[in-house]
């Protein structure tokens, strides 16, 4: 009897992470569910055990904590994971000058630091697997700067760049690398962001994203990036070819980004 593969899924308490975890369990993967909300993780773990007979482990960790990724890696190391899905992430939705510095620090920690460190820590295990899989959830926002969503879009541009580089570095191995770029998805993202002004582009469902993820995981195409939604795919190809200033102007209008509500307060007045 072939041993089940083990998949670690961050952001598994809701949305894309929960959807992908369900799909992996349905394909007979044992799962490690990672997020902050232990109660939601336990409920999903019970569901997956009952529905598919798989082992489902819960690791309740806040990935905004700089030590969070290392805590996850320590908790799952003995399982020798074959699959890592970095689905944890959130966005803030103000002009940078209006953002809470502590909140955007957490955004960078979750979207960039935790994803990078956890990928690095689990990559040896993924490479050792005869059928390793790395899925990093990026966004169509990664293909251009987005005024009013500046930190989120920049963090996702980093994720796309990192993932494509890891794909190139690991070619010739058994590892499949997927950079997943959904458009606006029907998840809690906009509730967390506090606005739905940024539903720009083709809105996709969790089911669509999961379907694209599973198909990309089975293939080894000429590039790792998988964009969800045909209109989003067209936009992702066209946008980088347009003049940057035009892209910024159009994007700002689409998102409703505007000038700061009031003059920013200087950090200091130059007085010795």
Q: Is 158 one of the catalytic residues? A: no
Catalytic residue from among 138, 142, 155, 236: 138
Sign of the alpha-carbon dihedral angle for 248, 252, 255, 257: positive
Phi, psi angle pair for 242, to nearest 5°:
-90, 155
Q: Is 156 one of the catalytic residues? A: yes
DSSP string of 88-140, one letter each residue: ------S-GGGS-HHHHHHHHIIIIIIHHHHHHHHHHHHHHSTT-EEEEE--G
Catalytic residue from among 142, 152, 155, 236: 152
Q: Is 236 one of the catalytic residues? A: no
262 DSSP 8-state letter: S
Q: Is residue 69 a contact partner of residue 117, using CB atoms and an 8 Å limit?
A: yes
- In Å, what is the CA distance from 242 to each residue of 41, 236, 248? 43, 11, 10
Residues assigned a catalytic role: 138, 152, 156
């Amino acid at each position: 009897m072939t041993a089940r593969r083990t998949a670690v899924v961050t952001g598994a308490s809701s949305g894309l992470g929960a959807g992908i975890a369900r799909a992996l369990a349905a394909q007979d993967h044992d799962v490690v569910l990672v997020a902050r909300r232990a109660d939601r993780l336990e409920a999903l773990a019970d569901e997956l055990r009952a529905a598919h007979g798989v082992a489902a482990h819960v690791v309740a960790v806040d990935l905004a904590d700089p030590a969070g990724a290392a805590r996850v890696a320590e908790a799952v190391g003995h399982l020798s994971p074959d699959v890592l899905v970095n689905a944890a992430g959130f966005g803030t939705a103000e002009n940078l000058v209006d953002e809470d510095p502590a909140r955007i620090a957490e955004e960078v920690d979750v979207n960039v630091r935790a994803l990078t460190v956890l990928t690095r820590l689990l990559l040896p295990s993924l490479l050792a697997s005869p059928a390793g899989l790395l899925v990093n959830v990026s966004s169509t926002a990664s293909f251009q700067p987005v005024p009013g969503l500046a930190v989120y879009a920049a963090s996702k541009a980093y994720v796309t760049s990192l993932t494509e580089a890891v794909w190139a570095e690991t070619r010739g191995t058994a590892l499949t690398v997927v950079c997943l770029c959904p458009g606006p998805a029907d998840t809690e993202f906009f509730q967390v962001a506090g606005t739905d002004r940024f539903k720009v582009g083709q809105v996709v469902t969790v089911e669509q994203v999961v379907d694209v993820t599973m198909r990309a995981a089975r293939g080894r195409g000429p590039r790792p990036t998988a964009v969800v939604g045909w209109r989003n795919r067209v936009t992702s190809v066209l946008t980088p070819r347009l003049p940057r200033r035009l892209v910024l102007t159009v994007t700002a209008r689409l998102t409703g980004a505007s000038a700061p509500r009031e003059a920013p307060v200087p950090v200091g007045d130059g007085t010795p």
